[in-house]
Structure 1
Amino acid sequence: MDKKKLSAIQRDLPKDVVLIAVSKTHTKEEIDEAYASGCRIFGENKVQEIKEKYDPNYHWHMIGHLQRNKVKDVVPLVDMIQSLDSLRLAEEIEKQCAKIEKVMPVLVEVNIAREANKTGILLEECLSFVKQCMSFPHLDVQGLMCVGPMNGTTADIEACFEKMQVLYHTLQNEYGAERIRYLSMGMSQDYALALKHGSNMIRLGTIIFGQRNYNK
C-alpha cells in the first residue's frame, strides 16, 4: 500500500467526499493497514470476499453485481449496497432485510455509458425505478452509483459524469437532498473528473492498494 499517496488523497479531498477503499482481491492484513492509515469504509465486489474478510469494527459496502441468491448472506454484514440494478433484486433485499428488521441504505446503479458488459439501470428508466424502490420500507435509497466508460476518452467520461450529475440533482429536487445524499462515481483512473462533476463518494482501489493479483 502506498501510504504517501493515500495520505495525499485524504488531505486533498473535500470534506464532504466519502472515500471507499476498494479492497477486492486484497488481504485482511492489507485492509488492516489501510484502516490504520485512515480508511474507514471498504468496498467489495463479491459476497464471498466480504464474508472472509468481515470485521465488525470496519464499515463495508457491496459495490459489485449482487446475485439474488447471495442477498441473505450479505445484508447482515454491509452498511450499504451500491449496486441495486433491478426490481427483482430490490424485492429480495426487502425480503431479507425484513427478516432481520434492518433498513438497508442503497444506491441505484446506472449504466450511464450503456455498455453491454455492465449492469445497471438505463438513464431513461432511472426516475421510475427509484420511485418503485422508494415504496419498500426496508430500503433507504440514498443516491446513485455509476462506473465511467472504461475505454472512453476524457470527453466521453466527462459527458457520462455530467449526465449523472444532472440525474442526481433531479432526484434531489424530487425527494430532497436530505434523502438523496450520495453520487458515487469515480475510481482510481477517473476520480478527479468525477469530483469535477459533483461526485461526493469515490471508490479507489489500485491507487491505494496497488495492482490486484487475481491469482491469489
Structure 2
Amino acid sequence: MNNKDLIFQKYNNIKNNINRIKEKYNINYNIEIVAVSKYASLENIKEFLNLNLDLPLAESKAQSLRDRVGELEKFNKNLNIKWHFIGRIQSNKIKYIVKFADLIQSVDSVEIAELINKEAQKNNKIQNILLQFNISFENQKGGFNLSDYKNIYEQILKMKNIKIKGLMGIASNSEEKNLIENEFEKLNKIFNNINLEFDKNKISILSMGMTSDYELAIKHGSNMIRIGSGLLGNS
C-alpha cells in the first residue's frame, strides 16, 4: 500500500470512528478534523493534499508554518489550504503566524492577544483565534486559568482585529480516563458558560482531543479534533 492509500485508509478509519462515537453519545453536530502536519514529511503532506479531503493543516512553530506555506506553494500555487497554528506563541514570531494562519488555536495570554491584534491591523485582517485554557494544570502547557475566563473574554472581545471563535485545551498525557474526562468537561462548562453569559458574542468551536483521546473529547463536547499520528504518520 502506497502512502496516499494509507493516509486515505487512516482518514476513513477516523471518520468511521467519529460516526460511531456520535451515534454512541447521540451527537448530531459536525466534528471537524484538523490534520497536524508538524512532524509529517513534505511528501506525506503532498500525498494528503492530492486526496482533496479539504481538511485544515496545523503547525506548532511559526517558522515551520512559514516554510511549509512556501514549500507547498512551489508544489501547487492553486492550493487553498486553511492553516491553523497550535503551538506556544513567541512574541517575536507573531508576524509569521498572523500572515499565514487562518485560525490561531493557542492564544494563552492577553498580552499575546494584544500583539496579534496589532499585527492583524497592520495586515488589514480580522484574525480568528481560539483561547487556550490550561485544563491539565501542567506548567509546560500554555493556557489561561479556567477561573479567569470571564475577565479574559471581556478584555479580548474589545480587540477590533481579533475574532474569538472558540476555546482550545490539551488534556493530561495520562492513561487515567477519569482524569482526562474531568479536564475536558471543565472546558466544556466554560464553553457553555461563555455562550450563556455573552449572548451577543457566542463562540462555536471547542477544540479538544488528539489521536489518543479524541473519543473522550467528543463525548464531552468537542467539535474539533487535532489528529497527527492517526492520519499523517506523525506523533
Q: TM-score, normalised by structure 2?
A: 0.85
How far does residue 177 in structure 1 lie from its aligned partner after superposition? 8.5
Cα RMSD of the aligned pairs, angstroms, is: 1.7
Q: In structure 1, give the amino acid aligned to 2:9.
A: K
- Partner residue in 2 for 1:101: 124
Among residues 20, 24, 28, which one is paired with 2:34 in the alignment? Answer: 20
How far does residue 40 in structure 1 lie from its aligned partner after superposition? 2.0
CA contact (8 A) 2:134 2:146 kept: yes
Rounded to whole Å, the distance in 1 between the matches of 2:33 and 2:67 is 22
CA contact (8 A) 2:120 2:161 kept: yes
How far does residue 9 in structure 1 lie from its aligned partner after superposition? 1.4
The C-alpha deviation readout for 1:16-73, integer Å capped at 9, x for no partner, is 1111000002123211222233152001100111111114521100011111110112
Unaligned 5+ residue runs, structure 2?
20-28, 73-78
Among residues 161, 175, 196, which one is paired with 1:173 in the alignment? Answer: 196
Rounded to whole Å, the distance in 1 between the matches of 2:36 and 2:136 is 22
CA contact (8 A) 1:107 1:145 kept: yes
Rounded to whole Å, the distance in 1 between the matches of 2:43 and 2:190 is 38
- Partner residue in 2 for 1:4: 9
CA contact (8 A) 1:19 1:39 kept: no
Partner SS for 2:173: coil
- Partner residue in 1 for 2:23: none
Q: In structure 1, give the amino acid aligned to 2:159.
A: F
Unaligned 5+ residue runs, structure 1?
none
Q: What pairs up with 1:94-173 in 2 under 5 angstroms?
A: 94-151=117-174, 153-173=176-196
- Partner residue in 1 for 2:229: 206
Residues 182 and 176 (structure 1), Cα distance of their counterparts in 2 relative to 1, 3 Å cut: farther
What stretches of structure 1 move > 6 A for 4+ residues in a row?
none
Rounded to whole Å, the distance in 1 between the matches of 2:210 and 2:101 is 20
Among residues 47, 68, 72, which one is paired with 2:62 in the alignment? Answer: 47
More helix by share: 2
How far does residue 176 in structure 1 lie from its aligned partner after superposition? 3.7
The C-alpha deviation readout for 1:86-142, integer Å capped at 9, x for no partner, is 111011001100011100010000001111111100111122111110000001011
Among residues 15, 40, 45, which one is paired with 1:31 in the alignment? Answer: 45
Rounded to whole Å, the distance in 1 between the matches of 2:16 and 2:126 is 32
Identity, % of aligned pairs? Answer: 33
Residues 147 and 198 (structure 1), Cα distance of their counterparts in 2 relative to 1, 3 Å cut: same
Q: In structure 2, give the amino acid aligned to 1:70.
A: K
How far does residue 145 in structure 1 lie from its aligned partner after superposition? 0.1
Partner SS for 2:35: strand
Q: TM-score, normalised by structure 1?
A: 0.92
Rounded to whole Å, the distance in 2 between the matches of 1:23 and 1:137 is 30
Equivalences, count: 212
Rounded to whole Å, the distance in 2 between the matches of 1:140 and 1:125 is 19
Rounded to whole Å, the distance in 2 between the matches of 1:192 and 1:178 is 28
CA contact (8 A) 2:130 2:168 kept: yes
